[in-house]
Amino acid sequence: MSVRPAWEVRESEGATRWFEFRLDFADGARVDALALVAGGSVCVEEVRAQPALTLDDLAVLADWIEESVAGACATGSEAGGVGPGRRARPVPPRGAEGRQLVAREYRAAQRSGTDPVLAVMSATGHGRRTSLRLIGQARDAGLLPARRARR
The full 3-state SS of 47-78, as one line of letters, equals EEEECCCCHHHHHHHHHHHHHHHHHHCCCCCH
Q: Is the link from the previous residue into 5 a cis peptide, with omega within 30 of 0?
A: no
Over residues 144-151, mean pLDDT: 72
Burial class for 120, CB neighbours closer than 10 Å (0-12, 13-18, 19+): buried
Q: CB within 8 A of 3, min separation 6: which ones?
A: 19, 20, 21, 68, 69, 71, 72
Using the 8-state DSSP alphabet, how is residue 38 labeled?
E
Mean pLDDT, rounded, of the chain: 77
What is d(CA 65, CA 42) in angstroms, rounded to the nearest whole number?
Answer: 8
What pLDDT is recorded for position 85?
Answer: 61
pLDDT at 11: 75
For residue 51, pLDDT beyond 80 = yes
List, for residues 76-126, the tens digit of each pLDDT value: 333 344 443 644 445 566 778 888 888 988 999 888 888 888 888 888 777
pTM (whole model) above 0.75:
no
Around Cβ 44, how many Cβ atoms within 10 Å?
Answer: 19
Mean of the pLDDT values across residues 38-67?
Answer: 80
Torsion sign across C-alpha atoms 126, 131, 134, 135: positive
Q: Does residue 62 carry a pLDDT above 60?
A: yes
**What is the C-alpha to C-alpha distance for residues 33 and 66, in angstroms, rounded to an integer?**
12
What's residue 91's pLDDT?
A: 59
| 110 phi and psi angles, rounded to 5 deg | -60, -45
Q: Cα dihedral sign for 32, 68, 118, 113?
A: negative
Three-state DSSP class for residue 111: helix
